Structure formats: C-alpha cells, structure tokens
C-alpha cells in the first residue's frame, strides 16, 4: 500500500523549486513597496508572486505573475507561477493550460512534463497522466517521482508487471533503498513468484550494516589514547566521507571523552549518509538521554522503532516467501529472526512513552542509558497503559491506539492481552502491516504456529478493491483544498455515531500506510496526545457526541 502514495507532491510549486525558489527574507509588504517603485521589474514581480503564493494571497499572486509574464523578461516564470496559483484554487484545467504554454517555451523540461501528469492524474485522466509521466521519464530517467507514479497507476490498472518494472528501475538507481526492496519483494509475492520475493527480501536485509564490535573503541584506556584514536578516525572520515560506520565509531569515542556536541555531530553525519542506519539512530537517542534531552531522546527512539520494524518486515517477507516455496524449516528459522527483533521495538517505544511521562511530570532524568531493568520504568509504563485504556473507552475504533496499547502490554509481559489488542487493530484496519506482524510474533510465542503464519502472510497481501480506495485517498490528499473539505463534511456526517469518533485518527493511519505521513512523527504525536491535558480533551470531545452521560 505504501507505494500508492509515493511520488505525489504536497503542492504543484514543489515541482518548480529551481524556477520559483522560496522567497528570500524580504517581507510581502517590502516587495510590494519595491515593486511599486519599479513596476517594470519582472524579477520583483516574480518574487512578489512567490511570496504571495506562499501566504495564499492568491489574487495578488495571480496579478504579480501575470505582470511578470507580460513584461517579457521572465515569461516562463510568470506562466509557471500562474499554473501554481490555479492549482491552489483547484482549477486543474487552467493549471494544465498554463503548463502547456510553459512546455511550449521549454519542451525539454522534465519538471513541467511531470507537473502536467500530476494535474492530469488528480483530474482523473489516468491515461493522459501516464503519458505525461512517461514523457518526463524520457527527459530525465532519474526522476524518481515518475517511476513511483507510473507504478501507482499500473497497480490501479491491475498491471503488476509494469509496477514491478518501475520499481526495478528504482532499485537500480538507489540500490540501498530498503523501502524499494521491501516493495519489490511484496509485489513479487503478489505476482506469485516467491523465489523472486526471497531474492528481494534477502537484498533488503543486506542493506542494514551489521552491529559493530566496539572492542576497538573500548581498548583505549586513557584520554590520550582515545584522542589519538579520534585523530586517526577523523582522518579516515575525511578520506572516506561516505562511510557511515566510521562516523558512528567516531561518535562512540567522543562519548567516552564526554564531548557531547562532537558525538552528536558524528552520529548525525552517519545518518545523513545512511538515514536508515538503526545503530546510529539508537546511539543518537541514547546520547540525548545521557545529556537529559528527554524529548529529543524519545523522538529519536521513535524513529528507531520504525527502522527496526522495517527490518522485521524484511524477515517476515522472506519467511513467508520461504513458506510458500515449501521451505518449512528455513521459514521457521527466518520467523524466529523476525521475532528476535521484536523486543527492540517494544523497548524503544516503551522508553519513548516513559520519557514523555517523566517530562510531563517535570522529573529530572538521570538515566544514562535506555532502561534495561523491567521494573525500573514499569510504574510509568503501567500509567501509560492506563491512559491508553481510558482513551480506548472513548475511541474504541482507533486502530493505532489498539496497536500502541498492544506494544505496551507486550513490554510488561501481558501477552494474551497484547494479542487481543493487535487483533482489534487489524480487525479495524486489515492493512496495518505492523500490527499484523506483531500479532504474528505474539501468536508464534503462544505456539499458535499456523495462525502466526497466516498473520504474517496477511501483512504482505493486498486486494484490488483496497488498492483502488487507497489510490484515490492519495490523490485526494494531494488536493488539500478538497481533502480538508471532504474530511470535514464526512466527520460532520458521522458525528452522532459512536463508532466513528476515531475517523480522523484512522484516516491519518491510512495516510501513513500509503506513505503520505511520516510514521515516526505520527507515533510521537500520538504519545503526546495522551498527556493529562489531552485526556481531558478526549473526554470533553466524547461527551459532545453522546458517549458520556
């Protein structure tokens, strides 16, 4: 499902960052004054138009871009600006018309061809969109968005082979992109080729670096030896700047020296090189925790949860493919590896919830590492469990709330209750992959092997009806002027129905599933929602729709 939302833009102007760069420090009022003093300046007209477009002063933006077009020195920028204004107003046909004029001015610009496809797709003209995306791809084969949108259209048409072909090209362009490999593996499974699925999931698992042996870092005993090691490793990072592992090792040395700023920079450099580096993410969060930056630590641990869950997905996908190939022993061993990663996610999520709870209480944090003693943070985790239980009274159909409740129950050893929580989550949203996988892991621990395999298999399955719904959801979300209005109308229509209190929350989950909302950020916001103030807000909101007497 995640691939259905890939390649969409937040707004049309995102396609033209080179031609219509973000406004500088000048205020709109200052640009308006300067343009009044120099009415023949096309550059000032464009800059004013960009600033007004940013501030959604659309009538003034349209006037400024029209002036820029007519002044002659910047006609192309004026036309592109007019297309962006039309897009903000929901006038897709007018946007396409302006983009056609721009394409006549510069037929070799892939951004314009892509933008035409983007507008045509949102207008429901899929064939025209596919043609425009193909043209953009021919002009710039490295334009990732075209591959992602052509793949989404192919899935909408039920053409799995074409979608796989697009993602194979993406895999060639970005061989270390874990999401691309996971998507390819899932599509090969859906096509009925488990052998190809095994190959892709195995490649996905090779992307994450193996945990390092820190014996070398620990070997240095005194500060002089450590600084000598820092000097040597710093030289290596300069000589081989693209090796993320060197930066992580360097960060470890700075931690031993107590140099917080340098340690942070080293870990962050590793993540700039390899954003999905789980070990670097955990060490960055741990360093925040050492220094008492509990909110930053919790947010970083949340990102680590998502990275760890992606690795679990790769192992589960490989296990399902092996199971379908009749390799029962290999599948069982692979599922065991997936299960071995699961405690990491539970611990990291529980730690994020614990840190938020302590922050809310105003407690100082003296822990230097993630809590390993189950009893040390149990009181705070139990408090978080009670918060989730209270929230579920008022929002019983919120899938993500059941999922997070299950994670916390799992962390404190309440396995059967965790199974029930995950079962409720997937009953509400069968396409909630993480919940399906966690359910499978818990069922496996209970010895319910066949049910576990079934849950793992469901995590990889999609059906055409769901593809159609999620495809349309992605397009609607890409038209924010229509999306917000549609959401408000629907929420108003179901406001009196107890079972639909969690409409917006489940909508947000669906947007995460198709890749349009950041999961780590959404998880952190969900933790924050259960603060004392929000618990009161939940109760008040529920009372308004008749859920509280």
Q: Alpha-carbon distance 425 to 389, whole Å? A: 14
Least confident segment among 47-56, 144-153, 310-319, 514-523: 514-523
Q: Are 300 and 313 in contact (CB under 8 A)?
A: no
Task: Count Cα neighbours of 398 within 13 Å in the Cβ-side half-sphere.
Answer: 22
Cα-based distances in Å from 8 to 39, 174, 476: 37, 19, 11
Give the pLDDT score at 430.
87
Q: Alpha-carbon distance 464 to 76, whole Å? A: 41
More confident residue, 137 or 430: 137
More confident residue, 216 or 33: 33
Q: What is the DSSP letter of 39?
A: T
All domains in the chain, ordered by first residue = 2-207 (1.25.40.10)
Q: What is the DSSP letter of 291?
A: T
Average pLDDT over residues 115-137: 95
389 CA to centre of own chain? 27
Average pLDDT over residues 76-80: 92
Q: Alpha-carbon distance 539 to 94, whole Å? A: 46
Q: Is the pLDDT of residue 463 over 90?
A: no
What pTM, to 2 d.p., does this model score? 0.77
Q: Are 474 and 514 in contact (CB under 8 A)?
A: yes
Report the 10 Å Cβ neighbour count for 109.
21
3-state SS string for 307-344: HHHHHHHHHHHHHHHHHHCCCHHHHHHHHHHHHHHHHH
Structure tokens at 374: 């189950």
518 CA to centre of own chain? 3
Which residues have CB under 8 Å from 141's CB, separation 6+? 169
Give the pLDDT score at 386.
87
Q: Is the pLDDT of residue 389 over 50?
A: yes
Q: Are 392 and 398 in contact (CB under 8 A)?
A: yes
């Amino acid at each position: 499902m995640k691939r259905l939302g890939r390649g969409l833009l937040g707004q049309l102007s995102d396609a033209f960052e080179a031609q219509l760069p973000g406004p500088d420090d000048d205020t709109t009022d200052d640009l308006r004054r300067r343009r009044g003093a120099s009415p023949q300046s096309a550059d000032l007209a464009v800059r004013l138009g960009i600033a007004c477009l940013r501030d959604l002063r659309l009538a003034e933006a349209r006037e400024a871009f029209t002036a820029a077009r007519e002044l002659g020195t910047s006609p192309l920028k004026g036309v592109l600006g007019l297309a962006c204004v039309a897009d903000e107003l929901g006038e897709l046909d007018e946007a396409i018309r302006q983009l056609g004029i721009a394409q006549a001015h510069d037929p070799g610009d892939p951004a314009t061809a892509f933008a035409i496809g983007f507008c045509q797709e949102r207008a429901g003209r899929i064939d025209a969109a596919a043609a425009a995306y193909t043209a953009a791809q021919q002009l710039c084969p490295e334009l990732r968005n075209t591959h992602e949108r052509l793949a989404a259209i192919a899935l909408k048409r039920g053409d799995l082979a074409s979608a796989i072909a697009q993602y194979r090209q993406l895999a060639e362009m970005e061989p270390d992109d874990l999401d691309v490999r996971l998507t390819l593996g899932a599509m090969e499974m859906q096509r009925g080729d488990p052998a190809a699925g095994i190959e892709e999931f195995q490649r996905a698992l090779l992307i994450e670096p193996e945990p390092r042996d820190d014996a070398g870092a620990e070997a240095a005993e005194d500060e002089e030896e450590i600084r000598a090691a820092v000097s040597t490793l710093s030289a290596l990072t300069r000589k081989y700047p693209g090796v993320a592992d060197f930066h992580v090792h360097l960060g470890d040395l700075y931690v031993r020296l107590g140099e917080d700023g340098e340690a942070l920079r080293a870990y962050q450099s590793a993540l700039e090189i390899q954003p999905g580096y789980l070990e670097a993410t955990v060490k960055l969060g741990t360093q925040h925790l050492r220094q008492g930056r509990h909110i930053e630590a919790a947010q970083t641990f949340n990102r680590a949860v998502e990275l760890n869950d992606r690795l679990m997905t790769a192992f589960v996908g490989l296990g399902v493919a092996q199971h379908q190939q009749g390799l029962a022993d290999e599948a069982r061993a692979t599922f065991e590896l997936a299960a071995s990663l699961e405690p990491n996610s539970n611990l990291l999520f529980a730690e994020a919830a614990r840190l938020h709870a302590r922050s809310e209480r105003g407690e100082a944090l003296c822990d230097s590492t993630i809590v390993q003693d189950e009893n040390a943070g149990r009181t705070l985790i139990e408090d978080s469990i009670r918060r989730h239980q209270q929230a579920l009274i008022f929002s019983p159909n919120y899938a993500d709330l059941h999922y997070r409740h299950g994670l916390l129950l799992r962390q404190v050893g309440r396995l059967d209750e965790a199974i029930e929580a995950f079962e409720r989550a997937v009953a509400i949203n069968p396409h909630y992959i993480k919940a399906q996988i966690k359910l499978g892991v818990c069922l496996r621990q209970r010895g319910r092997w066949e049910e576990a395999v079934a849950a793992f298999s469901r995590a990889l399955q999609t059906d055409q009806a769901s593809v159609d719904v999620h495809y349309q959801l992605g397009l609607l979300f890409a038209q924010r002027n229509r999306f917000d209005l549609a959401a408000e109308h629907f929420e108003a229509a179901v406001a009196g129905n107890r079972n639909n209190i969690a409409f917006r929350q489940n909508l947000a989950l669906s947007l995460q599933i198709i890749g349009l909302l950041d999961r780590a950020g959404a998880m952190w916001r969900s933790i924050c929602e259960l603060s004392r103030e929000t618990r009161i807000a939940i109760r008040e909101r529920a009372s308004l729709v008749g859920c509280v007497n």
